[in-house]
Chain A
Amino acid sequence: MLQTLKILYHQGKQYIPDLRAAKVPGIFLGRPEISLEKVDETRLADVCPTNAILTGPVRIDLGKCTFCAECSRLFPKKIKFTTDYRLTTNERSRLIIHEGDTTALILNPDLVRKEIRKLFSGSLKLRQVSAAGDNSTELELNAAGNVNFDMGRYGIEFVASPRHADGIVITGPVSENMAEPLQITYDAIPSPKIIILAGCDAISGGIFEGSPALNRKFIEENHIDLYIPGNPVHPLTFINGVLDLLGIAP
């Protein structure tokens, strides 16, 4: 018993007090900013591994971006990754960053279904399905519930059974072999239910886009409530995104 108390004491305070205003250490690769500088756009677009850079004018699609920062390494004056981890939105087109954009991504309030905030803002239970995810975003979603990030303080939790869940969080590009299990899991969740895509693989297929081993029908045919970019998704990106969706004020 004394030993247990001693260990507890040695941990000090580990939780992040304010998840809405926390600063990430070091050189986090968050929301990119594109300057108005003139560059060879074709060359710029060509350095991107996932065709996330669009031209005429230059834009970056965060749904495809793997945050490898190859573009900002080769074109440091044109593209800069900021430490802003708020990368979440609920409209696919809002994931596209334009030249000169310097403001954080926000949700389109008109697209948030009314019942979501009414039913889930006090308690949201989520079922996670890794559909050919590489276990990086999965590790970070686990971390979102640990003693540091502790998203349980807002009543947001991952649960074991889809029957207990209010929504599904999908990671990975969705392989053909996972298409059916994903559908079965989603069908087992009682309505109303939400769909969250976590990571660039889930949103667009990422580096796997176009692979014949994928089957993205589920993603294409269902209404997506939240897009969370990242490779992997940072726990703060995930938690803040879900809080935004639930309308829990900063």
Chain B
Amino acid sequence: MNSLTLNNHQTVPVAGIPESDYKTFLDYNTGLIIDHPERHCVLYFGYRTNDKIRLIICIADDNEHNILVSATVVAEDSVLDSFSAKVLAFEKFEREIHENFGIKYTDHPWLKPVRYSYSRADKTETISNYPFYSVDSEELHEVGVGPVHAGIIEPGHFRFVCNGEQILHLEIQLGYQHRGVEKLFLEKKKLIQRTILAESIAGDSVIGHTSAFAFLLESMVGLPLSSELLFCRTLAQELERIAIHTGDLSAICTDIAYQLGSSVLGRLRTPIINFFQEWCGNRLAKGLIRAGYNPYPFTRALADRLTTILDAFEPDFKEINDEISRLPSSLSRFERTGMLNYEQLLNIGTVGMSARMNTLVRDIRISHPYGLYSEFNHEPVIKHHGDVYSRVQIRKQEVLQSIAYIRQLMADLPESAGSPQKPFVLLPDSFGISLTEGWRGEICHACITDHSGEMQIYKIKDPSFHNWLALALAVRNNEISDFPVSNKSFDLSYCGHDL
């Protein structure tokens, strides 16, 4: 068997995806990944065709800068050998396939529900009776947290098994945020409806997800991209990275009770998101990214304004971060807390900054460049300890890196390309895939159209889909009181996971 080789943001005829029996499909694709850290699965999903389930796998190759796609067809009541037994990173993809279609696996380590989707195969499974792992012991106790948490934060349930204050095991149960987004993409047929949906996948990653959506649809229409579009999406992505990293650093300070850091970083985020509002009318940049055109030209006046904002931001940002790195009271909370080593990160399939915290280079900006990233000579920020402090330092250094990129971008502003009047018609019988590097990590959108050009399936994968397991493993053997700061240093998305 072989795979179809695709570039990022490329659309191909769906018939061109090579198909084989399941056993060959399994051996071939696990063979691609085992002992090849440069390859990982960005998307593995199923969809109904006639009475069967077609499974499509997309494996990104970081060295070759491409994506390897292949497929198989199985019966609905199949009992299959799992990918997960060979490559742990597939555990959630296979759980999703099991949840949606009822396909069973002989050797999956824990075939539990993922998000209790309304269209799940087994309706007797409900969110209130999730099968938690538990230990029958006189000494150990369980702590349940959520779904409603103590702050203004999305819902999810954390179940700890503890020995005194020490966490032995954490299981994270999600699904509370499930809104049926992927199905709504098929039902809502207007482009503007789909765009608003993309903006609402995760409200803290509006640029990441909406860009992934826009690039995908543009490739499925066959639309050439203006340099203005590439410019605005690249700049906006880096601005979003600055805003959220800064806000997260503030929240991390809150979790270690460092009030000054919390206040200063909290207020530093304000001018950045207010700039989004000056640019497009919305502090979280909803409305800025549109497929096919750029509704809010980036003018010289806006560039001057952003230069002023960044010039004021940078010294204050550096000053407070230097102070955080100097304080014994913050370092003692950050260092050696919530640690993962390289092998764990690789096995889990961790992506984005959560991978880069311990030498695993996963960064779509360099592995599958899009927008104007190929012009930067981008060097991912890599850390070597995999602890909270590594994640703090990545955020700090990425903010400074993004500022430098934005300054470089603004040296040469593109001409406004105007607005489109062409109707948006998707190519029929096609498959397209789109990867972007949001602030959390790689965001993947994929779409298949039928013979009339209607969307047949729309798949979304937020980086959190991989990374939640990293959090669960990172807090093992930590004190339970260190959980909040570990959690915030990852800051994973609930709605991006639950869809």
Residues of chain A at the chain B interface (Cβ within 8 Å): 3-4, 6-8, 10-11, 14, 24-29, 47-50, 66-70, 73, 81, 128-143, 146-148, 158, 160-161, 172-173, 175-178, 180-181, 185, 201, 206-208, 211-214, 231-232, 234
Contacts and interface: CB of A to CB of B under 8 A. Distances in A.
Contacts of A212: 118-119, 180
A211 B323 CA distance: 48
Interface in B141-196: 147-148, 150-155, 175-180, 183-184, 188, 190, 192-193, 195-196
Contacts of A3: 323, 326
Interface in B398-418: none
Contacts of A25: 274, 277-278
Given A132-B177, A207-B196, A207-B200, A26 B154 contact: no
20 contacts: A7-B260, A11-B267, A27-B277, A28-B277, A49-B193, A130-B177, A134-B201, A135-B203, A136-B203, A147-B267, A175-B179, A201-B200, A207-B184, A207-B193, A207-B196, A207-B200, A208-B180, A208-B200, A213-B117, A232-B286
B266 interface: yes
Contact of B319 (A7, A148, A161): A7
A4 B184 contact: no
Nearest to B146: A181
Contacts of B178: 132, 175-177, 213
B282 interface: yes
B495 A135 contact: yes
B387 interface: no
Contacts of A175: 176-179, 498
Nearest to A127: B148
Contacts, number: 190
Contact of A29 (B147, B204, B287, B326): B287
B127 interface: yes
Interface-centre pick from B147, B150, B183, B184 (highest chain A CB count, 10 A): B147
Contacts of A180: 128
Given A177-B176, A208-B179, 14 more contacts: A8-B260, A10-B319, A25-B277, A26-B277, A27-B278, A66-B196, A134-B202, A135-B494, A138-B153, A139-B203, A139-B204, A201-B200, A213-B179, A214-B179
A17 to B, nearest CB: 15
Contacts of A161: 150
Q: Which 9 A-B pairs have the closest CB atoms?
A: A136-B203, A26-B278, A213-B180, A160-B150, A134-B203, A29-B281, A49-B193, A213-B118, A211-B180
A32 to B, nearest CB: 12
Taking each of B176, B266, B286, which has the highest tally of chain A beta carbons within 10 Å of its own beta carbon? Answer: B176
Given A135-B493, A147-B267, A211 B152 contact: no
B56 interface: no
Nearest to B419: A73
Interface string B240-276: 0000000100000000000010011011001000100
